[in-house]
Structure 1
């Protein structure tokens, strides 16, 4: 099966890029399942219910969150009734919502989506390695899940890569989110797990990680806040990763980055020329 993972959606520019481009990509690439990280979609922090529905309407099967999960207060209520909205599994056990969800793809495939939050340079959370391992062991490839995708929302690429090796052979894909910068280290590990340290963002790259440059630059130069961060609203790029999995094992057989639109160089998977 073919799975697309899109990195952090940032502000209006990111939302509109997803709405305008994702439906065409689903058809063009014959995608079976789509996961979108939406934790910066609403004004750069958090995800309102209305914006969650916009991302779903564009074709996302599951939407993941991150350390800004609760920045929009209505998320605390609507996450309980939205099973396809997934927040970090290693948050407090008292946090609403869920950190893992088994969903059905377009052709009946069963896909387990798990999200964890890193601990290096991040706010305190429980151990993501053991929390994710437990969720994966409870819904293993071949026996219950046809594919397993892990979104590690983390600051350090070393932690993202460590998670890939920790889960190698147990999941289809480990992909990082949070830094908003797409890495070029996409590969398949020896045990068959696809790994990409960060999927990048869906937003305006003529910015500082999705924000208008003036205020971040001011803080770097002076250390004194003058205003709030404002999402940039220029032409946005979609950034993410596409994998293809073995129908028997669920492990990764193909991995490639995806970048469409905006100021980044474009790259779209061709699956060996079979689909373009």
Structure 2
């Protein structure tokens, strides 16, 4: 089984990067499944229904979210019927939407999960506690399990991956928007990457206008960061190949495309 996971899509430039680079990547890697994190696609915060539908039309099969999942209020108008949209699973049971999505690929099936870290996030139920028995339940249905671990802390991401090593196919981090250089397969067969990076403006600070971000650090005053809509674009992603029988990872290849 071959799949591609695209890092946090940020605003209009992120959308442009999808249009520009996704066909190239699909041609090169021939994935059977394409997943993307899009919690920042609608002006940098949350996802609007029009962008959800747009991503599906671009060839994205599953869309994951994160701590900004519900920042765009429009999500409450369509999340109940958005079968391919996966919000963080470790939220209260009353939270709308679902945190795991099963996808059929020929005679195989893969579970795609979105999980929130809790270190420095102040949101979500402890992922280790929440998933302690859930992963075993999912494995009874399929050994192919992909987790988008949306977390701030590097150590929490590493601990989470080693804790699930051999039980899931891959743990790939999102949220910090900078692709890390540590993609590898752990001892028991789980692919790991601390952060897949973002898809958006290359000349920015994590996808946002540099001056608005610097202003916050200089003044220490609360202000809204503006999404960078100009300049070169980048797309950050990762390619994974999984064993059809065991679900264990066979290959992990980080992807970084930049238009300068």
1:154 — aligned with what?
Answer: 151
Task: Give secondary structure in 2 for the equivalent of 1:3.
Answer: strand
Decide which structure has greater strand share. 2
2:225 — aligned with what?
Answer: 229
| Structure 2 portions without partners, runs of 5+ | none
Determine whether 1:250 maps to 2:250: no
Q: 2:178 aligns with which of 162, 178, 181?
A: 181
**Contact 1:204–1:262 (CA under 8 A) maintained in structure 2:** no
TM-superposed CA distance for 1:91, in Å, is: 1.0
Task: Give secondary structure in 1 for the equivalent of 2:5.
Answer: strand
TM-superposed CA distance for 1:108, in Å, is: 4.7
2:68 — aligned with what?
Answer: 68
1:52 — aligned with what?
Answer: 52
TM-score by structure 1 length? 0.90
TM-score by structure 2 length? 0.95
| Structure 1 portions without partners, runs of 5+ | 264-276
The within-5 A match list for 1:180-219 is: 180-219=177-216
TM-superposed CA distance for 1:262, in Å, is: 3.2
The within-5 A match list for 1:46-195 is: 46-105=46-105, 107-140=106-139, 144-145=141-142, 147-195=144-192
Task: Give secondary structure in 2 for the equivalent of 1:139.
Answer: helix
TM-superposed CA distance for 1:146, in Å, is: 5.3
TM-superposed CA distance for 1:193, in Å, is: 0.2
TM-superposed CA distance for 1:28, in Å, is: 2.4
Aligned residue pair count: 259
Q: What is the alpha-carbon distance in structure 1 between the residues aligned to residue 129 and residue 22 of structure 2?
A: 33
Task: Give secondary structure in 2 for the equivalent of 1:219.
Answer: helix
Q: What is the alpha-carbon distance in structure 2 between the residues aligned to residue 133 and residue 150 of structure 1?
A: 14
Relative to structure 1, is the Cα distance of residues 243 and 152 closer, same or farther in structure 2, using a 3 angstrom cutoff?
Answer: same
1:269 — aligned with what?
Answer: none
Task: Give secondary structure in 2 for the equivalent of 1:203.
Answer: strand
> Deviation per CA, 1:161-197, whole angstroms, max 9, x where unpaired?
1111011001111011000010101110000000000
> Deviation per CA, 1:113-163, whole angstroms, max 9, x where unpaired?
0111111110232111232343321221xx532521001110001111111
> Deviation per CA, 1:50-69, whole angstroms, max 9, x where unpaired?
11111111111110000001
**Contact 1:153–1:177 (CA under 8 A) maintained in structure 2:** yes
